[in-house]
Structure 1
Amino acid sequence: MTMLRALSFDLDDTLWASLPVLQRAEQCFYDALCERVPEFVARVSKQELRDHRLGLLRAEPRLRHHISEWRRRSLTEMLRAHGYGARSEQISDEAFAMFIQARQQVELFAHVDTVLAQLSQRYTLVSLTNGNADFHQQDCSRYFHACLKAEDIGVSKPEPAAFAAALAAAGCAPEEMLHIGDHPRDDIEGAKAAGIRCLQACIVKGPETATPLADGVFSDWRQLPDLIEKLAGGR
């Protein structure tokens, strides 16, 4: 059996629950607009802001790999359409700054730090996320050899090139890496298509939501070392 040398980790809903973080960040984004352009907020609903973002993504699919740019661009366009002219980009940048600051305020699942510390003694750890959380701001990132974001590498999971970037960062072959993430398509199907074994995190939704493609499932981080050990051949 090929030796397991590296572990790649998704972030949202794998290391922490994403919904409360995103809800808080969205509210900070909206509050920033209320403070800076209350008359704009009075005319444009949250749903209209969302609809415009989705329309922009349909028009420019590449933005799914650059979600921070996508959010700023969409708001800037809407502000310009409502007469804010040269101020639009500055307002958008300021609102986004509030969003991204709140985006970093995560609460790790129980036992994450302890388990990562343990795993980092045996494996090279790499993070691979489609989101825009700055993992470097989290203390547990000290266990990681590399922290990769789609908007930095220009490609998102489940595309094979995203996993190729993780392999390159870890300096290993597909059979030497194990990917750990929650999303059935982005993480599990994506890893499998890249020739990488994978474990599915079912902490938020529960193990009954697991996909049969996964090589294992966990709902508690304390289960992870034993699962990895089994896949590594009991070394």
Structure 2
Amino acid sequence: MPRLKLITFDLDNTLWPVDEVIRRAEQRCRLWIAERYPEAAECMTVEAVREIRDQLLREKPGYVHNLTALRRDALARGFMAAGYHSSEAARLAGEAFGIFHDARNEVVFFPGALDILAHLADSYTLGALTNGNADLRRIGIDDLFAFHHSAETVGRGKPEADMFLAALKSSGSRADQALHVGDHPLEDVGAAIQHGFGAVWANLLDQRWPADLPEHPHRIHTLHELRDLVTLLDA
């Protein structure tokens, strides 16, 4: 591999664990609705909202590339099911989503995340590539990244090529000068390799590598390990 210029990172479950973040954000959103619109809350149980989201995905599969729109529109349908006019439902859904999204960006980093980002940013261009809707500015790390591309901003999520190509364009790098770090064996590791990047599997949650995928040699279990691995790969 030629000398590295670009290192891209997935976000959720790569720099911070996300499942508890989403559970807490959804709970805060439900409480906000229940306190202000109790009649709507009765129509917007966890199961009901899940069914609405599934229905929206069946109607418009493209929602999978825009989780913000999916969640906001599901909330709007929930408010409409409670009897609100569509315009009022959309307004309330926007407010409810704001409550969710504020909490969604209250993350707790994996140990070593901030240190390794600061260290790598001194020598490489860093980019964020995510299928989710985390906001780096709200989280407070936007200054460490040269760019942030998401499924929402480029139109399609990983493992498609769009986000990786956008990263190369934003950084002025070639694929053989780029390394991607992520937790998902297919959407991060497999996709990065398919699109010409190097790849590191960030297995910080002790997951099993899928038996139907070729074994990948570059993996870490803590972000502290990334410093030495990048040095090795860039030698």
| TM-score tier after normalising by the smaller chain length | over 0.9
**1:198, 1:215 within 8 Å by CA — same for their partners in 2?**
no
SS at match of 1:200: strand
Cα distance in 2 for residues equivalent to 1:185 and 1:138 = 26
Q: Among residues 216, 219, 225, which one is paired with 1:217 in the alignment?
A: 219
How far does residue 166 in structure 1 lie from its aligned partner after superposition?
1.3
* Structural RMSD (CA): 1.6
Q: What is the Cα deviation at residue 43 of structure 1?
A: 3.8
Q: Which residue of 2 is the match for residue 59 of structure 1?
A: 59
Aligned length: 232
Equivalent-residue separation in structure 1 for 2:121 and 2:214 (angstroms): 28
| Helix, strand or coil at the partner of 2:7 | strand
Alignment map for 1:113-124 (pairs within 5 Å):
113-124=114-125
1:102-117 → structure 2 map (5 Å cutoff): 102-117=103-118
- Worse-superposed segment, 113-122 or 37-46: 37-46
Name the amino acid aligned to 2:3.
M
Query: Structure 1 pair 38/88, CA: closer, same or farther in 2 (3 Å)?
Result: same
Q: 1:213 Cα deviation (Å)?
A: 4.7
1:1-235 counterparts in 2 under 5 A? 1-85=1-85, 86-206=87-207, 208-209=208-209, 212-232=214-234, 234=235
DSSP-derived class of the 2:11 partner: coil
- C-alpha displacement at 1:56, in angstroms? 0.4
Which SS does the other structure have where 1:16 is aligned? coil
Q: SS in structure 2 opposite 1:108?
A: coil
Offset of 1:48 from its aligned partner? 1.2
Runs of 4+ in 1 over 6 A off after TM superposition: none
Cα shift readout 1:143-169 (whole Å, capped 9, x = no counterpart): 211112221222211101111111111
Q: What TM-score does the superposition give when structure 1 sets the normalisation length?
A: 0.93
Q: Give 1:75's aligned amino acid.
A: L
Question: What SS does the corresponding residue of 2:141 show, helix, strand or coil?
Answer: helix
Amino acid in structure 1 at the alignment position of 2:84: Y
Unaligned runs of 5+ in 2: none
Tell me: CA distance 1:144–1:215, structure 2 relative to 1, closer, same or farther (3 Å).
farther
- Cα pair 2:44 2:78 within 8 Å, conserved: no
Relative to structure 1, is the Cα distance of residues 227 and 212 closer, same or farther in structure 2, using a 3 angstrom cutoff? farther
User: Aligned AA for 2:65?
Assistant: H
Question: What's the secondary structure of 2:71's corresponding residue?
Answer: helix
Deviations 1:112-163 (A, max 9, x none): 1111111111111000111111012233332211112221222211101111
Aligned amino acid, residue 88 of structure 1: A
Gaps of 5+ in 1: none
Q: Read off the aligned partner of 1:19 and give its amino acid letter.
A: D
